[in-house]
Amino acid sequence: MGSVKILLIGCGYWGKNWYNTILKSDYELVGVVDPKPVIDVKVPLFDDVLDVNIDYTHTIVSVPPRNVLEVFGKLNITADNVLIEKPCGVSYNDILKLGNIYPGLIFMNSPQYKYIKDNMEQIGKPLFFDSRRASMGPRIRDDVSILEDYLIHDLCIFMGLFGSDVDVLNVLMADFFDDPIKKDSIWLNVESNTADHYVLGSMFSSWRFPKKIRELVIVGTEGSFIWEDEKLSINKSNYSKIDGIDDFGNIDNKLNLNESDTRILLPSKSNLELELDDFITGNKISINLVDVWKIISTIKQEVK
C-alpha cells in the first residue's frame, strides 16, 4: 500500500475523536474541513471541501446526516476510500446515492463483535438476542431519531451475525421530548429467517433512560455471550436431566442448570483505532448498509 493521506471532514462532537485517533496512527492526516472545529487543529484547515488544495487518498466524513450528500458530492475520490459516520444519511434514498462507501459503524469493527462472529459455535445453536443501548452521550439529536442514532448499532450487529433476511415483528417508538426532537425511545422485536440461524431479537434504545447502558446478550443452546461495555464473557450452560421422586411418590423429571462464566481476553486497541485500520486496509464489515436501511425504512413505516 502506498502512502495513506487522510482528509477529515467534520471536527465536532465525534470528528474530534477521529482527529486524535488519526494523529496517533501510522497514517497521515493531511487536512481538516470544518469552519468551526471544536478543538485546535494542527494541520491545514479548510472551511469547505471545495477549498481543499492538497492531495488526499482517503476521506473520513463526520458531519450531521442531513449534510452527508452535499459533502459526498464534492469529493473527488472513489467511494471505496470514503468512510461516512453512521447513519450515513437521513433516508433509504440517501444511502442508495452513496455507492460503495465504508459505513462508520464502530461496534462492527470491535474485537467483541469479531470474536462472537468467529466463535458462535461456542454457545451452540443461537436462540435469541437481547440488547439495551441508552444514554450513550450528552447529545440528543434533532436530525434523526433514536433508531438511526443508537439502535442502528444493534440492528447491524444482529444482521451481521444472523443475516440480512430480517422480519420486523413489532415496534414501539415514543416521543417524550417536544419538537424538534424526533422519536427518542424504541422497543423493537425482530426475527432472522436465515436457514442456519433462526434467531429472535429484542432491542431497546433511549435518550430518556437515566442510566448509560451498553449491553448485549446472545443466548444459545449451550451457553451465552454477554457483552457489557468493553467486557465480553461467555456463560457456558447445559441442562442435565435429574430423575427423582416427588412428595406423592411419582417420578419427577427435572432439568438442572449448570453454569460457568469465562472472561474473553481481547486486543487492547480502541474500537476507533480498529475501525481506522479496517477502513484503510479494505477489511469490509459484514453487513450491507442498503439492507440495514431497508429495515430502518420498514420500522419507520410501522410507527407512522
Distance, in Å, from the CA atom of 178 to the CA atom of 168, rounded to the nearest integer, reads 27
pTM: 0.89
Q: Are 91 and 127 found together in one domain?
A: no
Q: Are 132 and 280 found together in one domain?
A: yes
Domain boundary among 70, 104, 138: 104
Q: Are 147 and 238 found together in one domain?
A: yes
Distance, in Å, from the CA atom of 169 to the CA atom of 191, rounded to the nearest integer, reads 7
Q: Are 155 and 185 found together in one domain?
A: yes
Q: How is residue 203 written as a grid cell?
A: 432491542
Q: Are 229 and 294 found together in one domain?
A: yes
Distance, in Å, from the CA atom of 279 to the CA atom of 199, rounded to the nearest integer, reads 29
pLDDT, tens only, 206-257 = 988 888 999 999 999 989 999 999 999 999 876 555 555 555 555 555 545 5
Q: Are 118 and 61 found together in one domain?
A: no
Q: How big is the chain, counted in residues?
A: 304
How many helical (H) and strand (E) elements, i.e. helices and strands, does the chain have? 8, 14
Distance, in Å, from the CA atom of 152 to the CA atom of 176, rounded to the nearest integer, reads 20
Cα dist from 176 to 171, 184, 185, 244, whole Å: 16, 7, 8, 53
Distance, in Å, from the CA atom of 81 to the CA atom of 277, rounded to the nearest integer, reads 12
Q: What is the pLDDT along the chain (304 residues), one digit of tens a residue?
A: 569 999 999 999 999 999 999 999 999 999 999 999 999 999 999 999 999 999 999 999 999 999 999 999 999 999 999 999 999 999 999 999 999 999 999 999 999 999 999 999 999 999 999 999 998 665 677 778 899 989 999 999 999 999 999 999 999 998 877 766 678 899 999 999 886 768 999 999 998 888 899 999 999 998 999 999 999 999 987 655 555 555 555 555 554 555 567 878 787 789 999 999 999 999 988 889 999 999 999 998 887 6
pLDDT, tens only, 27-47 = 999 999 999 999 999 999 999
Residue 115's contacts (CB-CB under 8 Å, 6 or more residues apart) are: 232, 264, 266
Domain boundary among 58, 88, 104: 104
Q: Are 70 and 132 found together in one domain?
A: no
Distance, in Å, from the CA atom of 281 to the CA atom of 56, rounded to the nearest integer, reads 16
Give how many domains the chain has, as a whole number. Answer: 2
Cα dist from 191 to 69, 131, 205, whole Å: 32, 14, 18
Q: Are 50 and 98 found together in one domain?
A: yes
Q: Are 200 and 223 found together in one domain?
A: yes
**Cβ-contact 99, 289 below 8 angstroms:** no
Cα dist from 61 to 3, 5, 51, whole Å: 20, 14, 16
Domain boundary among 61, 89, 104: 104
> Domain range holding 284?
108-302
Q: Which CATH number is 160's domain given? A: 3.30.360.10
Residue 87's contacts (CB-CB under 8 Å, 6 or more residues apart) are: 65, 144, 148, 149, 152, 296
SS3 274: helix
Burial of 303 (0-12, 13-18, 19+ CB in 10 A): middle
